[in-house]
Amino acid sequence: MITGEYLVLAGARALAMPVKYGQSLRVTLRDDNMATIYWKSLVKDKPWIEAEFQGAGLTVQSPKKSKHEQQSINFVRRALVAAKKHNPGFLSGNSSWEASANLEFDKDWGLGSSSSLLSNIAHWADVDPFELFFSVSQGSGYDIACARSNSPIIYTYKGKSNMPLVENVSFDPAFHRQLFFVYSGRKQDSAKSIAGFDPGNVNRNDVAGISQITDLLATTSDLNEFILLMHEHEALTAAATGMKPVQKEHFAGFGGAIKSLGAWGGDFLLAASALDESEIRSYFASKGIEVVIAFRDMALAGS
C-alpha cells in the first residue's frame, strides 16, 4: 500500500501496487481416501511448516510446533474451514489432497503472505477471495485486490459487508530511479496495529485529504511534488492516528521523504530523494539497514 494506510478503513482512496514477490499454491489429489489435507508451507523453496488436517472438521494433526508456527497452521485451518463454509462442496467426501504453498520472499517482510495465501485458497475452493478474506481477517482487503492484479490500483473500502471499489491505474513515475523500498527490520502485525484504530473517529476532512493526495501522488511527474505529498500524507495520518511519522522518529536527517507503507512502525518504508542511489544506500547502511530495493526491482511488470 503506497498511500491510505489506516484511513483506507474510513473510506479513503488508497494507492496500492502488486509486487514481483508472490506466493504459489500447488495441490494434488491423492488416492488414499483418508479425507486428509497434507499441508506444507515453504519459504523460498525451503520447508517451513507441515501439518495434516483430517476429516470434515479439518482437525489438526502435527508435531509440537513453535508458537509462531502453530499460529500459522491455525490460520491455514481457519482459511480452509471458512472456504468450506462458502463452498460446501470444497474438500467434501473422503478425498485427500497434498497442498504445497511456497512464499517467494522472507516471511517477515510483510508483503502480503497471508492475503496471497487466502487468494490462492479461494481460487482452489472456487469462492470469492474478498468474502474469504473478510471472514477470517481484519483489514481493508486491498492486498487481496493486489494478489491477482497485474497493475497498480486505487482501492476504496466499502465495509466488510460490501464489495470494494477497485480501479486499475498507471503508476510509473518518471523519477522511479529516485524511489526505493526500504525494509525497516521490524515485523509489524497488521491485525494488531489496526485493532486499536477506530475508523468512526476519523475526521472526514482527513479522509478527503488522503484521497486527494492519493490521486495527486499517483499522477505527478515531479519528484519534488511527490516528496511534498509524502510529507503531507504522513502529517495527516499522524493527526488521525496519534502516532509519530517514521521519518521524524528514526530518519530526521534524510535528504528527502520517508513514509510508512501499511502498519506504522515496521515492515517496508518508501524513500524518495534526489540523492544518488549510492548515497541513499549508504545512508540506510549507516542506520543498520541493508535491504533497500529499487522501485523497478519491486514493482510487478506493468506497474
Kindly report, residue by residue over 209-253, the tens digit of the pLDDT: 999 999 999 999 999 999 999 999 999 999 999 999 999 999 999
What pLDDT score does 20 carry?
92
State the DSSP H helix or E strand holding residue 51, giving kind and residue range, or none if neither. Answer: strand 46-54
Q: Give exposure, 165-190, as e/b (b: 16+ Cβ within 10 Å).
A: ebeebebebebeebbbbbbbeeebeb
pLDDT of 298 over the 80 cut: yes
pLDDT of 33 over the 60 cut: yes
pLDDT of 303 over the 50 cut: no
Q: Is residue 62 very low, low, confident or very high in pLDDT (cuts 50, 70, 90)? A: confident
Q: What percent of the chain is modeled with pLDDT above 70?
A: 95
In whole angstroms, what is the distance from residue 181 CA to residue 259 CA? 10
Q: Which pLDDT tens digit goes with each residue over 94-121? A: 999 999 999 999 988 888 889 999 999 9
What pLDDT score does 195 carry?
65
* Residue 255 backbone dihedrals phi, psi, to 5 degrees: -85, 75
* Choice among 107-111, 152-156, 271-275 with the minimum mean pLDDT: 107-111
Return mean pLDDT, the chain.
92
> Could you give the domains of the chain?
23-136 (no CATH), 170-298 (3.30.70.890)
Q: Which pLDDT tens digit goes with each residue over 69-86? A: 899 999 999 999 999 999
Radius of gyration for the alpha carbons in the chain, expressed in angstroms and rounded: 20
Q: Which pLDDT tens digit goes with each residue over 171-212? A: 999 999 999 999 987 755 556 666 668 888 899 999 999 999
What pLDDT score does 199 carry?
87
Burial of residue 54 (number of CB atoms within 10 Å: 0-12, 13-18, 19+): middle
SS3 content of the chain, % helix, strand, coil (to 5): 40, 20, 40
What pLDDT score does 178 carry?
98
What pLDDT score does 108 carry?
84
